[in-house]
């Protein structure tokens, strides 16, 4: 049973809602760019083939939005562009939004979907919008746009499950399955509990403790580069990081043997590579955590994921000891999931222009993102639940062409430029990806050497005996 405080909308009164701790980093990140830059959205595009009951779909979407409060949030005033925009507050709409419907010729499907996705959201109305593009009697595309402030990666799979289950319940009401019976966490209730005087006092103390540790690990001492060459329009180059399927299997096997995640192993490899090239014995890494710290939150749509800084000692006696130490540090760092990013950043580095924004990598020397695998188990790509009467639902990789985002100020541009970003994905049993670096700030030769050391470290881990 959900506690009563979790089910009472915190926005029922006239006072606008503050930021949820998990929204804080995304709000800072959003403000790091000019107002006309690419919107930070996390949209879902689903192709339906077969006999679609549009009424059942519309009712299902309405039920999802009714039960999941994040989908009914809106900003109470225009936030304005730029890093100095103050948080305007958010409030809860009493009812779900509409499902817009448009028609397009089959050959215009991709163009129409990208046109819909290109329309900016009016965040003062809602931070989500759903549109059904009909291209034939038995072909439809659902375009569900979500601003990242109210939606994260975990929400995508959950949204598909909720959509399929609710649709089946309406079209075949006696199909007999029971799914997602747990009541979702109240998003507004979570926000309200975080902002009690007692909770705020505890968070400030923990933020101060983490900030002190990060300072000791050189978070305010960035990787060296050409700071004078950085401009608002970022220009990134990359070094390929690709493992064969065989090498990936060995690495998964070693991860299981050490009882650590594949993410841990890759972060250890990247930390070692950066430390070797830049001669650092301490680094701060930026990692993503799902942020769902309760069972009911795992059934809740919303932005729960957050960026957590992880301090790492890069000197080690053996590979196994180093990997285990990194694993322990990640575990300890995720205990700070509920500490707002800006609470820590403001204690470590000066806030730009007193009220400016912090880029999400402002505290880190390096960042690692890994997708397609959970723990050491590969995920099923584009998994979709079954639908009745031969109807199929397939995720579509359609995205509009946006211009290169422009940083709102030199501080945000430099905070991003100094960080090295590794983005890896498990595809068909193999890890593929790249190490990305700002081309004007970082030397291409150094970045290439980081990639070489990374690959050598991974090879040693996958070949050597770890005991």
pLDDT in tens, 193-214: 999 999 999 999 999 999 999 9
DSSP E strands in 38-80: the ranges are 44-49, 73-75
Among the listed residues 232, 216, 266, the one whose alpha carbon sits nearest the alpha carbon of residue 367: 266
d(CA 467, CA 376): 18
Q: What is the pLDDT of residue 193?
A: 95
Q: Can you give the pLDDT at residue 416?
A: 96
Buried/exposed 374-394: b ≥16 CB within 10 Å, e otherwise: eebebeeeeebbebbeebebe
Band (pLDDT 50/70/90 cuts) for residue 80 is low
Mean pLDDT of the chain: 90
pLDDT in tens, 249-297: 999 998 998 899 999 999 999 999 999 999 999 999 999 998 998 888 9
Banded pLDDT at 343 (limits 50, 70, 90): very high
Which residue in 80, 449, 392, 406 sits closest to 272, CA to CA?
A: 449
Residue 307 in contact with residue 334, Cβ under 8 Å? Answer: no
Tokens of 452: 């070489």
User: Band of the pLDDT at 382, cuts 50, 70, 90?
Assistant: low
Considering only CA atoms, which of 286, 288, 259, 257 is closest in space to residue 418?
Answer: 286
DSSP codes of every residue in 393-438: EEE-------PPPBBSSHHHHHHHHTSEEEEEEEETTEEEEEEEEE
Tens digits of residue pLDDT in 23-32: 999 999 999 9
Give the tens place of pLDDT for each residue, 233-252: 989 999 999 999 999 999 99
The CATH architecture one would assign to domain 4-190 is: 2-Layer Sandwich (3.30)
User: Rounded CA gap, 18 and 192, in Å?
Assistant: 8
What is the model's pLDDT at position 467? Answer: 42
Tell me the C-alpha distance between 456 and 448, whole Å.
Answer: 12
Residue 83 confidence (pLDDT): 64
Q: Which of 35-39, 139-143, 179-183 has the lowest mean pLDDT?
A: 179-183
Please write the tens of the pLDDT for every residue from 166-181: 999 999 976 554 454 5
Task: Collect all residues with Cβ–Cβ distance below 8 Å to 452 and sequence separation of at least 6.
Answer: 273
Tokens 């100020």 sit on residue: 409
Q: What is the pTM of this model?
A: 0.91
Size (the chain), residues:
467
Domain 220-379+401-463: top CATH class: alpha beta
* Reported confidence tier of residue 350, pLDDT bands at 50, 70, 90: confident
Residue 22: pLDDT band by 50, 70, 90 thresholds? very high
> Tokens for 73?
């949030």
| Least confident range of 1-10, 55-64, 97-106, 441-450 | 1-10
Count CA atoms within 13 Å of residue 66 on its CB side: 9
Quick one: three-class SS letters along 277-301?
Answer: HHCCCEEEEEEEECCCCCCHHHHCC
What is residue 354's predicted lDDT score, i.e. its pLDDT? 66
Q: What are the residue ranges of CATH 3.30.559.30 in the chain? A: 220-379+401-463
Distance in angstroms (rounded) separating the CA atoms of residues 143 and 100: 10
């Amino acid at each position: 049973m959900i506690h009563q405080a979790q089910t009472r909308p915190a926005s029922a009164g006239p006072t606008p809602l503050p930021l949820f701790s998990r929204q804080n980093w995304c709000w800072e990140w959003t403000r790091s760019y000019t107002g006309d830059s690419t919107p930070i959205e996390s949209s879902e595009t689903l192709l339906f083939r077969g006999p679609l009951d549009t009424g059942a779909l519309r009712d299902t979407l309405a039920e999802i939005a009714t039960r999941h409060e994040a989908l009914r949030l809106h900003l109470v005033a225009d936030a304005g562009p730029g890093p100095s925009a103050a948080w305007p507050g958010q409030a809860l709409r009493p009812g779900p939004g509409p499902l817009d419907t448009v028609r397009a010729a089959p050959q215009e499907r991709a163009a129409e979907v990208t046109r819909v996705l290109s329309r900016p959201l009016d965040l003062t109305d809602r931070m989500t919008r759903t549109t059904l593009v009909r291209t034939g009697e038995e072909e439809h595309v659902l375009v569900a746009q979500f601003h990242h402030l109210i939606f994260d990666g975990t929400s995508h799979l959950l949204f598909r499950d909720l959509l399929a289950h609710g649709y089946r319940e309406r079209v075949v009401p006696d199909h007999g399955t029971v799914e997602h019976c747990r009541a979702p966490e109240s998003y507004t209730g979570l926000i309200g509990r975080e902002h009690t005087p007692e909770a705020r006092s505890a968070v400030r103390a923990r933020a101060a403790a983490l900030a002190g540790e990060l300072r000791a690990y050189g978070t305010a001492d960035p990787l060296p580069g050409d700071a004078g060459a950085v401009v608002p329009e970022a220009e990134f180059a990359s070094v390929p990081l690709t493992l064969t399927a065989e090498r990936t299997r060995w690495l998964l096997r070693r991860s299981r043997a050490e009882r650590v995640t594949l993410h841990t192993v890759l972060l250890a490899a990247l930390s070692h590579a950066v430390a070797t090239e830049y001669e650092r014995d301490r680094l701060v890494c930026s990692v993503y955590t799902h942020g769902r710290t309760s069972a009911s939150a795992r059934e809740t749509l919303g932005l729960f994921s957050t960026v957590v800084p992880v301090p790492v000692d890069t000197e080690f006696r053996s590979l196994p000891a180093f990997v285990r130490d990194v694993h322990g540090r990640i575990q300890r760092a995720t205990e700070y999931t509920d500490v707002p990013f800006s609470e820590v950043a403001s204690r470590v580095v000066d806030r730009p222009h007193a009220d400016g924004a912090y880029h999400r990598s402002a505290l880190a020397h390096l960042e690692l993102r890994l997708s397609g695998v959970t723990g050491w188990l590969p995920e099923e790509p584009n998994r979709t639940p079954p639908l009745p009467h031969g109807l199929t639902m397939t995720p579509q990789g359609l995205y509009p062409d946006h211009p290169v985002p422009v940083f709102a100020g030199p501080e945000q541009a430099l905070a991003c430029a100094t960080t090295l970003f590794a983005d890896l994905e498990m595809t068909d049993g193999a890890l593929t990806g790249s190490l990305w670096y700002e081309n004007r700030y970082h030397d291409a030769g150094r970045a290439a050497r980081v990639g070489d050391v990374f690959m050598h470290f991974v090879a040693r881990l996958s070949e050597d005996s770890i005991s």
